[in-house]
Amino acid sequence: MRILVSEVGPRDGLQSLKRTMSTDAKLRWIAALAESGLAEIEVGSFVHPKLLPQMADAEAVVAAARRIPGLSVLALAPNMKGVQRAVAAGVHKITIPLSASQKHSIANTRMTCEQAIEEVGRICCFRDGLPGENRPGIEIGISAAFGCSIEGDVPEDRVFEIANRLANLGVDTVGLSDGTGYANPAQVKRMFTRLRHELGERAGGAHLHNTRGQGLANVVAALEAGVTTFDASQGGLGGCPNSPGATGNIVTEDLVYLLESMGLDTGVDLDKLMQARSILAESLPGEILYGHVPDSGVRKGFRYANPNGVRSTALLIAAEACETAA
Amino acid sequence: MRILVSEVGPRDGLQSLKRTMSTDAKLRWIAALAESGLAEIEVGSFVHPKLLPQMADAEAVVAAARRIPGLSVLALAPNMKGVQRAVAAGVHKITIPLSASQKHSIANTRMTCEQAIEEVGRICCFRDGLPGENRPGIEIGISAAFGCSIEGDVPEDRVFEIANRLANLGVDTVGLSDGTGYANPAQVKRMFTRLRHELGERAGGAHLHNTRGQGLANVVAALEAGVTTFDASQGGLGGCPNSPGATGNIVTEDLVYLLESMGLDTGVDLDKLMQARSILAESLPGEILYGHVPDSGVRKGFRYANPNGVRSTALLIAAEACETAA
């Protein structure tokens, strides 16, 4: 079975840092990520450069990423203006932030939920009117779907009311997003099961954070519910800068290892993923990169899910492990 | 539903350190762990003090732990001699190391698998002959059940052949142990399902490590298979000292948070668990303690599974969390 790991580090990761990675370093990193076998990368955000100077080079990054054969180039755009920029730059797919929490929606996008949904309607109309070769896909991962750091609990019925409205507006896939690591596996399994039941083909993937250490536990629950697309970021880049120790996105390296170990084919070469990690580490000296597998290596006898791949783990063969009594 | 979290830090954690915690500090830590609601603690190991000087005070630690009302006091004993010491000290339950991997068995206990199984048979006979008030329970978590750092893959049929023999010898519960973080969730679900099918009431719990970041993911899979007992260590103490970054046991703090969030009652107070963590941190200055929840705090709106408990999370209310776009 094939699972899509959608790499969000160049957007979700880099936008959370105070410093800005150079365009050249971004391009080398993205090329290395794609070379590892990651088939989809969220490369930037079309927000106003005053708000996110780290993303001011989104056009240049998209243009370069588009030249990588076979790569699906994804970017975030928070509103119609951003969408128009993204389309002009030539993205394959656009992700739009939209929150199920009223207060979070206003804090994050200065729009109420209702206003944000209306904006999505306008964006879908605009997109549908574009000529075929310029027409990007639109995906939304509903933020605060599992709870909100401002409002606390978010009623599940509200999340699904929004999900259905978005699907009816023409959004291609509607997923569920947990940007603060609030989700638990019981909730993840229940909600993704319902999402697939209500939205069918338009049910999207899982955007999970590891803030409370529950990221991969939630992946297992989402797999049980039939989810086949997972966002992740290399090195877990993309935490909350105001909350020390609160790590960010689930770590691509550990996620790929998890899935491949379970017999689920990601198409990703862990060795080449480590080479991309080296580029990231060199480009952001001093930045904490998370992940266990980069330190521990793969288990002895590790095999990729697809035995026909030409992938290796030479960089990741564990040093002689020890096992203590019991 | 009730889940038993069996704390193994004072044994599995401390024995992996080069330094020795004082008996007094151990007793304060164990008392604090018990005070948090942990109903079972593995307090030490009855191995020869020359091999593990960190555990030389096992008799004194067991004697003190026995005075804590309601606490089930567990200790490891690798052979008959250790079992006799453990019984004399008054443990409630003994855990015996036994590996499904021939090479690991010899490296760890200087016995072949066959010799180790025979020793277990003698131990069960000895135990069964004790007067009722001195008769401890015997549990075994089969090491290398999910793979071995020396042999690589370990045939599953071999693990279950051993499990059945141990149950027939009179071992009360036979669980599965992953001391090197080799397990993956598909394997965990499959093997614990089979264990429960073959051993019924004698099917034991899961001893999982987080070496490759997959610890809590494996917990979710084990829960799916009906497992209700999980080993864990505070601060994830108990890694592999020769493998930097390779963290050890799954972290008690994160495990309790996971289970309670899923609506599974552990009986543990997270605030009091944090007080025990403080004692541990003071007693082992400079030691790395793992865990996400101690840094991130609990989610807004967190509730314990059992609303009738008198437990709190005052220490763990997260600082104002932030949620980035999407």
Angle at B309 between CA B306 and CA B314, to 5 degrees: 105
3-class DSSP assignment, residue B148: strand
Angle at B259 between CA B99 and CA B294, to 5 degrees: 95
| DSSP notation for B5-39 | EEE-IIIIIGGGSSS---HHHHHHHHHHHHHTT--
The CATH code of the domain at B4-316 is 3.20.20.70
pLDDT at B96: 97
pLDDT at A314: 78
- Give the pLDDT band (50/70/90) at residue B316: confident
pLDDT at B311: 78
Task: Give the span between the Cα atoms of B275 and B285, in whole angstroms.
Answer: 16
A293 touches chain B (CB under 8 A): yes
Res. B242: pLDDT tops 90: no
Among B141, B144, B263, beta carbon nearest to A323 = B144
Res. A245: pLDDT tops 60: no
Hey, are the CB atoms on B296 and A212 less than 8 Å from each other?
yes
CA B179 centroid distance within chain: 10
| Residue range B10-22: mean pLDDT, rounded | 94
Q: List chain A residues with CB under 8 Å of B15.
A: 324-325
pLDDT at B300: 92
**Tally of CA atoms within 13 A in the half-sphere of B271 that contains its CB:** 12
Task: Give the span between the Cα atoms of A255 and A90, in whole angstroms.
Answer: 29
CA B263 centroid distance within chain: 22
- Give the pLDDT band (50/70/90) at residue B318: low
| Residue range B18-22: mean pLDDT, rounded | 94
SS (H, E, C) B96-140: CCEECCHHHHHHHHCCCHHHHHHHHHHHHHHHHCCCHHHCCEEEE
Res. B320: pLDDT tops 50: no
| Residue range A244-259: mean pLDDT, rounded | 87
Q: List chain A residues with CB under 8 Å of B180.
A: 299, 321-323
Residue B2 main-chain phi, psi, to 5 deg: -100, 135
pLDDT tens for B70-122 read 999 999 999 999 999 999 999 999 999 999 999 999 998 899 999 999 999 99
- Give the pLDDT band (50/70/90) at residue A108: confident
Res. A321: pLDDT tops 70: no
**Which residue of A220, A234, A293 is the best one to mutate when testing the B interface, meaning the one whose CB has the most B CBs within 10 A?**
A220
pLDDT tens for B255-312 read 999 999 999 999 999 999 999 999 999 999 999 899 999 998 999 999 999 988 767 8
Q: List chain B residues with CB under 8 Å of A240.
A: 321-324
Hey, are the CB atoms on B318 and A149 less than 8 Å from each other?
yes
Mean pLDDT of chain A: 93
pLDDT at B133: 87
Among B182, B185, B245, beta carbon nearest to A299 = B182
pLDDT at B131: 95
Chain A nearest-CA distance from B27, in A, is 22
Res. B217: pLDDT tops 50: yes
pLDDT at A310: 67
Hey, are the CB atoms on B185 and A262 less than 8 Å from each other?
yes
A308 touches chain B (CB under 8 A): no
Residue that has been written with the tokens 């399902």 in this structure: B193
Res. B323: pLDDT tops 70: no
Hey, are the CB atoms on B220 and A185 less than 8 Å from each other?
yes
CA B292 centroid distance within chain: 19
Mean pLDDT of chain B: 93
Chain A nearest-CA distance from B272, in A, is 18
Hey, are the CB atoms on A263 and B186 less than 8 Å from each other?
yes
pLDDT tens for B146-157 read 999 999 999 999
- Give the pLDDT band (50/70/90) at residue B246: low
Task: Give the span between the Cα atoms of A222 and A214, in whole angstroms.
Answer: 12
Burial class (CB within 10 angstroms; exposed 0-12, middle 13-18, buried 19+) of A244:
exposed
State the complex-level ipTM.
0.94
Res. B244: pLDDT tops 60: no
Q: List chain A residues with CB under 8 Å of B223.
A: 185
CA A180 to each of CA A90, A239, B297, B304: distance values in angstroms, whole numbers, following the listed order: 31, 9, 11, 19
SS (H, E, C) B213-253: CCHHHHHHHHHHCCCCEEEEEHHHCCCCCCCCCCCCECEHH
B251 touches chain A (CB under 8 A): yes
Res. B321: pLDDT tops 90: no
Q: List chain A residues with CB under 8 Å of B230.
A: none
Hey, are the CB atoms on B301 and A152 less than 8 Å from each other?
yes
Hey, are the CB atoms on A261 and B148 less than 8 Å from each other?
no
Amino acid at A192: F
Hey, are the CB atoms on B97 and A323 less than 8 Å from each other?
no
The DSSP bridge partners found for residue B249 are B209
pLDDT at B308: 81
Q: In B, residues 130-169, which contact A (CB 8 Å cutoff)?
A: 141, 143-144, 147-153
Task: Give the span between the Cα atoms of A69 and A71, in whole angstroms.
Answer: 6
User: What residue of B is the nearest CA neighbor of A14?
Assistant: B324
Contact B257, B219 (CB under 8 A): no
Helix axes A102-109, A113-128, angle to 10 degrees: 60
| Residue range A29-40: mean pLDDT, rounded | 98
Task: Give the span between the Cα atoms of B320 and B301, in whole angstroms.
Answer: 13
Q: Provide, rounded to the nearest whole percent, the portion of chain B with pLDDT above 90.
A: 87
- H helices present in chain A, as ranges: 23-35, 58-66, 80-89, 102-109, 113-128, 156-169, 185-199, 215-224, 252-261, 270-283, 293-296
Q: List chain A residues with CB under 8 Å of B224.
A: 224
CA B113 centroid distance within chain: 22
| Residue range B248-255: mean pLDDT, rounded | 96
Amino acid at A201: E
B310 touches chain A (CB under 8 A): no
Among the listed residues B113, B125, B148, B240, the single catalytic one is B240
Contact B151, B104 (CB under 8 A): yes
User: What residue of B is the nearest CA neighbor of A45?
Assistant: B325
Residue B269 main-chain phi, psi, to 5 deg: -95, 115
CA B50 centroid distance within chain: 23
Among B104, B261, B323, beta carbon nearest to A149 = B323
pLDDT tens for A188-214 read 999 999 999 999 999 999 999 999 999
CA B232 to each of CA B6, B11, B65, B134: distance values in angstroms, whole numbers, following the listed order: 6, 11, 18, 27
pLDDT tens for A139-178 read 999 999 999 999 999 999 999 999 999 999 999 999 999 9
Which residues of A are known catalytic residues? 240
Task: Give the span between the Cα atoms of A300 and B104, in whole angstroms.
Answer: 13
Residue that has been written with the tokens 């073959």 in this structure: B198
- Pairing between strand A137-143 and A173-178? parallel
Contact B117, B162 (CB under 8 A): yes
**Tally of CA atoms within 13 A in the half-sphere of A34 that contains its CB:** 22
Q: In A, residues 49-108, which contact B (CB 8 Å cutoff)?
A: 76, 78, 95, 97, 104, 108
Task: Give the span between the Cα atoms of B286 and A145, in whole angstroms.
Answer: 39
Res. A111: pLDDT tops 90: yes
Q: Whole-model pTM?
A: 0.95
Contact B87, B53 (CB under 8 A): no
B322 is catalytic: no
Hey, are the CB atoms on A15 and B324 less than 8 Å from each other?
yes
| Residue range A268-287: mean pLDDT, rounded | 96
pLDDT tens for A280-316 read 999 999 998 999 999 889 999 999 999 887 678 777 7
Contact B219, B255 (CB under 8 A): yes
Residue that has been written with the tokens 């004697």 in this structure: B63
Contact A313, A302 (CB under 8 A): yes
User: What residue of B is the nearest CA neighbor of A320?
Assistant: B149
Chain B nearest-CA distance from A150, in A, is 8
**Which residue of A212, A234, A277 is the best one to mutate when testing the B interface, meaning the one whose CB has the most B CBs within 10 A?**
A212
Residue A127 main-chain phi, psi, to 5 deg: -60, -45
pLDDT at B325: 39
3-class DSSP assignment, residue B185: helix
| DSSP notation for B39-104 | -EEEEEE-S-TTT-GGGTTHHHHHHHHHTSTTPEEEEE-SSHHHHHHHHHHT-SEEE--EESSHHH
Task: Give the span between the Cα atoms of B55 and B11, in whole angstroms.
Answer: 8
- Pairing between strand A137-143 and A93-95? parallel
Task: Give the span between the Cα atoms of B251 and B228, in whole angstroms.
Answer: 17
Q: In B, residues 13-32, which contact A (CB 8 Å cutoff)?
A: 15-16
Q: List chain A residues with CB under 8 Å of B12.
A: 324, 326
